[in-house]
Amino acid sequence: MSDIFREVDEDLRRDQIMTFWKRYGGFVIAAAVLVVAATAGNVGWKHWRTTRMEERTAVLSEALAKLRPADENSQPDLKAAADALSAVGAKLGDGHADIARLYEAGLRAREGERDKAIALYDQVAGTAGTDPMLRDLATLLSVQLQLDTGDAAALRTRLAPLLKAGNAWKAAATEASGLLAARAGDNAGAASLFKELSEDSTAPQALRARATELAALYAATK
């Protein structure tokens, strides 16, 4: 059982933060700038806010640049990047601080600092005014780090809002909920969740394929 949790945990931890930033990062920053530009009634205020947004984006980008290896034969210094993100995260405002903390948490997890990573994810998830998509992502990633160790019932409760139709993270949350159900001994519940995921046409194919196998596994052991 622990091998299943470990495989899923490592797969999701490794890919999701980078996938999210590649897919949504530019949109988040651009949308924030557009909102400022659209709602500011005063030209001076609009200019100041836009400038501040650009400055924060530049600061975040500088910290993220530490993830790039110096050359093709070297590896990025993940700890240095995490420390840089920690420093800028304390100074940035709006969604930039949340993005910095999400990145930092992912790096801390990869470096084996699981407790620090969980605390950072929970900080983002619990901060008032956090963008709902970032909040839900932080909740999901926190739960994924605790799949094999945390209180299964409490973690499933945290995931419940993410299981609603239309949530960007519904598929991954369904998989995590199924694993938690199995860990709690609810094989029938796990089989049902994995069957639902395997039939979800909006879910990534890799998740659906894995869900098909897990649904069969737990259906056979109800």
Q: DSSP assignment of 63-126, as one string?
A: HHGGGS-SSTTS---HHHHHHHHHHHHTT--HHHHHHHHHHHHHHHHHTT-HHHHHHHHHHHHH
Span of 32-46, 54-68, 76-90 with lowest mean pLDDT = 32-46
Contacts of 144 (CB under 8 A, 6+ apart): 8, 9, 12, 13, 172, 176
The pLDDT assigned to 49 comes to 45
The pLDDT assigned to 55 comes to 57
State what percent of residues in the chain have pLDDT above 90.
45
pLDDT above 90 for 41: no
What value does the mean pLDDT take over residues 67-77?
64
Contacts of 42 (CB under 8 A, 6+ apart): none
Domain range annotation of the chain: 2-149, 159-222
In terms of pLDDT, which residue wins out, 162 or 95?
Answer: 162
Q: Cα(171)–Cα(100) distance, rounded to whole angstroms? A: 24
What value does the mean pLDDT take over residues 28-45?
45
Please count the other Cβ atoms lying within 10 Å of the Cβ belonging to residue 87.
13
Average pLDDT, the chain: 77
In terms of pLDDT, which residue wins out, 84 or 187?
Answer: 187
- Asked if residue 64 lies in contact with residue 81, where contact means CB atoms within 8 angstroms, the answer is yes
The pLDDT assigned to 176 comes to 95
Span of 81-90, 120-129, 151-160 with lowest mean pLDDT = 81-90
Span of 63-67, 79-83, 180-184 with lowest mean pLDDT = 63-67
What value does the mean pLDDT take over residues 135-142?
94
What pTM was computed for the model? Answer: 0.72
